[in-house]
Structure 1
Amino acid sequence: MGRTRRNILIGAGALALAGVAGAAVPFRRDMAAFRARAAPELSRLVETRHGPIEVAEAGEGPPFLMLHGTGGGFDQGLIAAGPMIAHGYRVIAPSRFGYLRTPLPEGAGPRMEAEAFADMLDALGVDRVAVAGGSAGAIPALAFAEMFPDRTAALFPVVPALMIPGRAEVAPWSPLAEWAVMRALRSDLLFWGAATLARDRLIGTLLATEPALVAAASPEEQARVAAMVESILPVSDRAEGLLYDNVQTNRPQDIDYARITAPTLTLSCEDDRFLTAENARFLAGAIPGAEAIVYPTGGHLWVGRNDALFAAIDALLTRVGWR
């Protein structure tokens, strides 16, 4: 999976070169809308031992911490966990290290993220929380559950993008490759061009989902996928987080899965092009008492499975009394 993700991220830079000439007016219009969705007044900054963390909240009820994946931010977290708001939960959605207004601290790693989230929860007055992590966000979610068992009511790694034992670690980028990708990721215009003019290719590569699934999905699911794609913009405000996640998902993590005691349900789709179904099955076997649900189709964006996926999460939380 590591090399696949790396090739996809490098390919995204080339994909972003899709023609954008003459697009200045719609680009400015769309970017204004995208920036408004992640406007600073919609979130707050909380100081932690590892620097400030940006966080937004929505809904009322038992707290549910949603850790977004690659390309995200608090806005993507709120989009992803929207069904939990409807189910009656208080969704807490931070911007992870390197995303939007959360800086990337020196020496950043999943354990530092977990500590920062614990400090953030202290500032919000939350002692215990159900934790979900999507894609690369599953790694700090797992770290949090291991490090803070008394604070973790339940754990949900969703399409978990991580390096499992037995896979070869991917060699780091060359300085030239890293420079080229960074240039592409800091160009909102180029990424907007790809998202606008080559959306199917972007969905199939960067988001690891079969575009035909989206085309055949309900209008509600198509709107959700569109919102997830658009939540990557402005990509220049998320570039450091994207590169950070690329490193973390391509290296083994110092997480003792056997020490995780929270009720755990991991979810994925068999056709996820990032191969997270294999990761979900690994976690179900490595975490004591964990369960896995692997849908036959849906890709990395779990297209057509959104209602079922969050209903399964709600069902486990109801079963363990987190309601």
Structure 2
Amino acid sequence: MSSTALLLATSVAVTALVSVAFLLYKNELGRACDAAGRGSLVANTDAGPIEYAQKGGAGIPLISIHGAGGGFDQGLANAAELVDEGFRIISPSRFGYLRTPVPRDASPAAQADAHAALLSHLNISHAIVLGVSAGARSAVELALRHPNRVTALVLISPGTFSPTSPVSVDASRGSKFTLWLVNHGADFAWWTLEKIAPSVLIRFVGVRPELVSASPKVEQDRVMNVVRAIEPLSLRFSGINIDSSPDLRELPLGKIAAPTLIISARDDGFNTLPAADFAASKIRNAKLIIYDTGGHLLVGHQEAVRTAVRSFLAAAGSAAYDLQPKSD
């Protein structure tokens, strides 16, 4: 075969391969978009339109506040991992995620007011508050700005304020490139990395890839489910941009009266341990659990975390769950 014919054959093969990959991507992206558009409602609250979903209508109210790259779907998944069926889960999409628009003021304080407005819209006077990662910022603000609404506060890998060592994105070249993709809503690039270089995305979500590869398959699957759940980026990157440039400042955490549980890991790729330490030192009677390993997703500790959260809520329960309805 001549060099020209070989070059032509190679070009045809590459083109065919790219075409098949793109068709597969479009099919999977379509399914992701469909999934992100199902199972939620948009409430017209005093704070503007807020997308949300509910699960377990007769249980104890728990508002699940998702982290970066999330939406109502991530909030539901977070709650499902941690609590049993005895809870009424309310899971909002924060500002810029899925069908919740970005208001003029997208600060954690404004987001907390939006959480309270959603609870009012649903005629819920008070609830347990679960804040994960960047969702811990508005969870803390909710406990400060609307204390009578918060019966207990759970902060997992909290992306909150630290005076000594701020929360940050992994500084590796791969993570910087991935952040660029995220900020540009690059759905195809994210999907491609998931297929050919998942370790880049695993590191981007705050976990050491070698920790995941050494973990049981159930944990590997859980981490990759988190990675896949960020798709489609194009419906989430406005919120990710807000979370990537947080306006974090010291808050009067000593005023938080709700029973509080805080959990983090020393090797969290987003460096949430200093923030967790600081919050626990300021919030009265806060309980702090620290794992030596696990990364941002607390890999290898899911059963221990689940047990800790359920035991904490049970201990806080008799006082918290029997509260009479109160206004702010």
Q: Deviations over 1:269-309 (max 9, x none)?
A: 11112111221111110111111101111100111112211
Letter in 1 for 2:198: R
Secondary structure at the aligned position of 2:152 is classed as strand
Residue number in structure 2 paired with 1:86: 84
Residue number in structure 1 paired with 2:51: 54
TM-score of the aligned structures, taking structure 2 as reference length = 0.83
> Unpaired runs of 5+ in structure 2?
1-16, 169-175, 322-328
Residue number in structure 1 paired with 2:154: 156
Aligned partners of 2:232, 2:77: CA distance in 1, in Å?
16
5 Å-filtered alignment, 1:233-272, equals 233-248=231-246, 251-253=247-249, 255-272=251-268
Q: Is the 8 A contact 1:45 1:52 kept in 2?
A: yes
5 Å-filtered alignment, 1:64-213, equals 64-167=62-165, 181=180, 185-204=184-203, 206-213=204-211
Q: Is the 8 A contact 1:84 1:91 kept in 2?
A: no
Q: CA deviation at 1:169?
A: 10
Letter in 2 for 1:86: D
Letter in 1 for 2:230: I
Secondary structure at the aligned position of 1:83 is classed as helix
Q: Give yes or no for the alignment of 1:306 onto 2:305.
A: no
Q: 1:33 to 1:117 in 2, by over 3 A?
A: same
Percent identity for Structure 1 against Structure 2:
36
Query: How many matched pairs?
Result: 292
Q: 1:290 to 1:218 in 2, by over 3 A?
A: same
Q: Is the 8 A contact 1:81 1:91 kept in 2?
A: yes
Residue number in structure 1 paired with 2:10: none
Aligned partners of 1:105, 1:51: CA distance in 2, in Å?
8
Q: 1:269 to 1:168 in 2, by over 3 A?
A: closer
Residue number in structure 1 paired with 2:224: 226
> Unpaired runs of 5+ in structure 1?
1-19, 171-176
Secondary structure at the aligned position of 2:32 is classed as helix
- What is the CA RMSD across the aligned residues, in angstroms? 2.2
Secondary structure at the aligned position of 1:299 is classed as coil
Q: CA deviation at 1:310?
A: 2.1
Q: CA deviation at 1:256?
A: 1.5
TM-score of the aligned structures, taking structure 1 as reference length = 0.84
Q: Is the 8 A contact 1:55 1:94 kept in 2?
A: yes
**Structure index of larger Rg:** 2
Q: Is the 8 A contact 1:182 1:239 kept in 2?
A: no
Q: 1:103 to 1:270 in 2, by over 3 A?
A: same
Q: Is the 8 A contact 2:264 2:289 kept in 1?
A: yes
Q: CA deviation at 1:83?
A: 2.7
Aligned partners of 1:52, 1:197: CA distance in 2, in Å?
38
Q: CA deviation at 1:114?
A: 0.8
